[in-house]
Amino acid sequence: MHIYVYIKSASSAPNKRAGQRLIACTAFPEKLRGLPGSGPGPGGRAALCRHCAGLPSAHVVRLLGHLCAGLRFRPRSSRESAVERQAMELGAPSQLWLWLLLLLLPPVPGREKESDSKWKVFIDQINRALENYEPCSSSDCSCYHGVIEEDLTPFRGGISRKMMAEVVRRKLGTHYQIIKNKLYRESDCMFPSRCSGVEHFILEVIGRLPDMEMVINVRDYPQVPKWMEPAIPIFSFSKTSEYHDIMYPAWTFWEGGPAVWPIYPTGLGRWDLFREDLVRSAAQWPWKKKNSTAYFRGSRTSPERDPLILLSRKNPKLVDAEYTKNQAWKSMKDTLGKPAAKDVHLVDHCKYKYLFNFRGVAASFRFKHLFLCGSLVFHVGDEWLEFFYPQLKPWVHYVPVKTDLSNVQELLQFVKANDDVAQEIAERGSQFILNHLKMDDITCYWENLLTEYSKFLSYNVTRRKGYNQIVPNLLKTEL
C-alpha cells in the first residue's frame, strides 16, 4: 500500500515546478526520515503521511497548505505502476489538478467502500504497531539485553553453593563448570549432539568468561515452573511466562536439531550456512513470483496444528498444509487419517508467499528460518518463546494468528486483498533476522548472558572430581 503525497508550498504558483513535488511514501513514517521537512512539526511530511495513512481511499484533504491523496493502491502490473508514476511526476499541472479534483469527489458506494471498512481493523492494528515500535539500531546483540535482565531477576538475591548443589542433585539438566577459562562437564548428557551444540558457543567466548558453574537443560521442555519456591537457576532454550528458566540460544544454531530423513539426516544445525541457502532461495523466488497459497509442512508435534491441516483438505487453493512423519509416527492416526506427506527442505518453502509457524513441544525451531525466505510469516499463538522472540513484533514483522486458528481465513483474505501491506511486513521480518540474528549475535548473547549470570554466584567455584574438560570438536560443515 502506498500513499501518494503531493507537496505544494503555500507560496508556490500552480504552474511552477519549483516547490511542487509528488512523493510516493508508505504508511510508515520511519521511511520518511532524512527527507526535507520530515521533522516532528505539524507541517512535516511525516505528519502529513501519518494523516493520509488514516484516510479512506479515494479521499483528499487539505492539510496545512498541502494536498495529499490517501491510501492509493499500487496498480496490478508494474507497467501500470510506471505509467502512473510518470503521469504524476511529469504530467502537466492542469492534468494533475484534474486528477486531484476527481479525487475530491466522494467515493462511490459499493465494493471499494465495503472493502475499506472490512479491512480497517487490520490496517489500524498495523498502524498502531508501527507507531509503538522502536527498532533496534544496534549492530551488536544489545537488542536482547532486556531478556537477560528479566530472566535473571529471580536470582538477584544471589545463588548460593547450597542452592547450586540442590540443582545439580535434581538432575534437571547437564552440569557445567568454567574454571580459569576452561570448560568442564559431568559425564552424563542426555542428548550428546545438543550438548555439543551448546558447548560450541561457550567455547567461542570462554577466554573472556569468569569462573562459574551452571546447569543447562537440553530437553525440549522448561524445568522451573513459577510455583516452585525458591526459584532455581536452570538454563533452557524455550519457555512460557509460567516458568523461571533462563533462556539461552538453542543448540540448533550449531547442531543437534531434529533429524529429518532424508533432507537433514544429521539434524538441523549450522544457522550460518542455512542463512546463506535461504537468502539464495529467496532471491530465486521474489515476492511477485511466489505462490499465493498458504503453506505448511511438519509433523504433528502439537494438535494445535490440526485446524490448518483440516482447512487445507477443505480448501486446498487457500492452504496447502500436510503432516509429515517424525520419530513418534506409528500409523495414519498420527497424520489425521491420511498418508504422511514427504518432508520438504526449508529452502523450498521460499516458493510460497505465506508460511505458517506453530509451536511444537515447545517453541518451533523453524520460526527464524521462515523469515529469510522473504515470505510473510503467520505465527500461531504467542505463548512459547525463544530469547529473540520479544524483539519480533506482531504486525510489524509477522501476522499474529489466534491459537485456535479461528481468524486464519479472514487473515489470509486480508493479505491477499492487500498485497503491498503483506510484502512490507514480510520485508521487515526478513530484515530483522538478517540484521539481528547473525552467528555473531548468538555468540554475543551467550557471552553477555553468562557474564551477567556469574555476578549472582555468591561463592568461589571449585572443580568437581570426575568432570572432564570439554575441547572444541572438528568443524561441522554440513546442514
pLDDT above 60: residue 212: yes
Residue type, 15: N
pLDDT band at 177 (very low <50, low <70, confident <90, very high): very high
Which of 39-43, 103-107, 359-363, 425-429 has the highest average model confidence (pLDDT)? 425-429
In 3D space, the residue among 28, 53, 49, 68 whose CA is nearest the CA of residue 116 turns out to be 53
Confidence of residue 196 (pLDDT cuts 50, 70, 90): very high
| CATH number of the domain residue 273 falls in | 3.40.50.2000
Q: Same domain, yes or no, for 198 and 273?
A: yes
Asked if residue 24 has pLDDT above 80, the reply is no
- Asked if residue 111 and residue 25 are part of one domain, the reply reads yes
pLDDT band at 11 (very low <50, low <70, confident <90, very high): very low
Position 28 confidence tier, pLDDT thresholds 50, 70, 90: very low
In the prediction, which pLDDT does 139 show? 77
Assign 89 to helix, strand or coil: helix
Asked if residue 104 and residue 226 are part of one domain, the reply reads no
Enter the C-alpha cell of residue 117. Answer: 471498512
Grid cell 494438535 is found at 303
Q: Which amino acid is at 455?
A: K
Q: Which of 362, 422, 355, 434 is nearest to 392 (CA)?
A: 434
For residues 385 and 240, is the Cβ–Cβ distance under 8 A?
yes
Q: Within a 13 Å sphere around the CA of 470, how many CA atoms are in the beta-carbon half?
A: 25
In the prediction, which pLDDT does 44 show? 45
- Partners of residue 179 on adjacent β-strands: 182
Asked whether residue 18 falls in the same domain as residue 149, the answer is no
How many structural domains compose the chain? Answer: 2
Residue 388 has pLDDT above 60, yes or no: yes
Alpha carbons 20 and 23: distance in angstroms, whole number:
10
Distance, in Å, from the CA atom of 292 to the CA atom of 444, rounded to the nearest integer, reads 37
One domain, residues 210 and 110: no
Q: How far is CA 265 from CA 103, 261, 330, 393, 452, in A?
A: 60, 5, 20, 33, 37
Question: What is the enclosing helix (H) or strand (E) of 43?
Answer: none
CA 304-305-307 angle, to 5 degrees, is: 90
Q: Are residues 85 and 176 in the same domain?
A: no
Exposed (0-12), middle (13-18) or buried (19+): which is 88, by Cβ within 10 Å? middle
Same domain for 122 and 224? no
Helices and strands, counts by H and E, the chain: 13, 15
Q: Which of 104, 132, 160 is the last residue of a domain?
A: 132
For the record, the C-alpha cell of 265 comes out as 539426516
Please say if the pLDDT value at position 41 is more than 80. Answer: no
Of the candidates 263, 271, 255, 270, which has an alpha carbon nearest to the alpha carbon of residue 299?
263
pLDDT tens digits for range 75-90: 444 444 444 444 444 4
Residue 69 has pLDDT above 80, yes or no: no
pLDDT tier, 117 (very low <50, low <70, confident <90, very high otherwise): confident
- Residues 8 and 120 placed together within one structural domain of the fold: yes
* Lowest-pLDDT range of 98-107, 233-242, 299-308: 98-107
Q: Among 140, 220, 306, 334, which one carries the catalytic annotation?
A: 220
Element (H, E) at 370: helix 367-371
Q: Sorting pLDDT into bands at 50, 70 and 90, what band is 102?
A: low
Residue 35 exposed, middle or buried by CB count within 10 Å (0-12, 13-18, 19+)? middle
Does residue 262 have a cis bond before it (omega within 30 degrees)?
yes
106 and 41, same domain (yes or no)? yes
Cα 471 versus chain centre, distance: 34
106: domain range?
2-132
CB 220 within 8 A of CB 243: no
Between CA 195 and CA 187 the distance in angstroms is 11
Which residue, 100, 115, 132, sits at the end of a domain? 132
Per-residue pLDDT band at 228 (split at 50, 70, 90): very high
Q: Do both 6 and 110 map to the same domain?
A: yes
450 and 381 co-located in one domain: yes
Q: State the pLDDT at residue 290.
A: 99
Cα 241-243-248 angle, rounded to 5 deg: 95
Q: What are the Cα distances from residue 92, in Å, to 13, 97, 250, 362, 457?
A: 14, 9, 60, 61, 74
- The Cβ-side half-sphere exposure at 87, using a 13 Å CA radius, reads 13
Q: Within 133-270, where are the H helices?
A: 145-152, 161-169, 192-205
What pLDDT is stored for residue 79 in this prediction?
43
188 part of the active site = no
Measured in Å, how far apart are the chain's first and last C-alpha atoms?
38
CA 258, CA 267: separation in Å to the nearest integer? 5
Question: What is the number of other CB atoms lying within 10 angstroms of the CB of residue 52?
Answer: 23
* 243 in the same domain as 104: no
Higher-confidence residue: 405 or 22?
Answer: 405
pLDDT tens for residues 301-343? 889 999 999 999 999 999 999 999 887 788 898 899 999 999 9
Domain limit, last residue, from 114, 132, 150: 132
d(CA 65, CA 9): 6
Pick the closest to residue 5 from 17, 23, 21 (CA basis): 23
Q: How does residue 7 score in pLDDT terms, banded at 50, 70 and 90? A: very low
Q: Please state the φ and ψ torsions of residue 400, each to the nearest 5 degrees.
A: -80, 135
What one-character DSSP code corresponds to residue 384? -
Give 186-249 as a DSSP string: -S--SSHHHHHHHHHHHHHHGGG--SEEEEE--SSS---BTTSSS----EES-B-TTB-PEE--
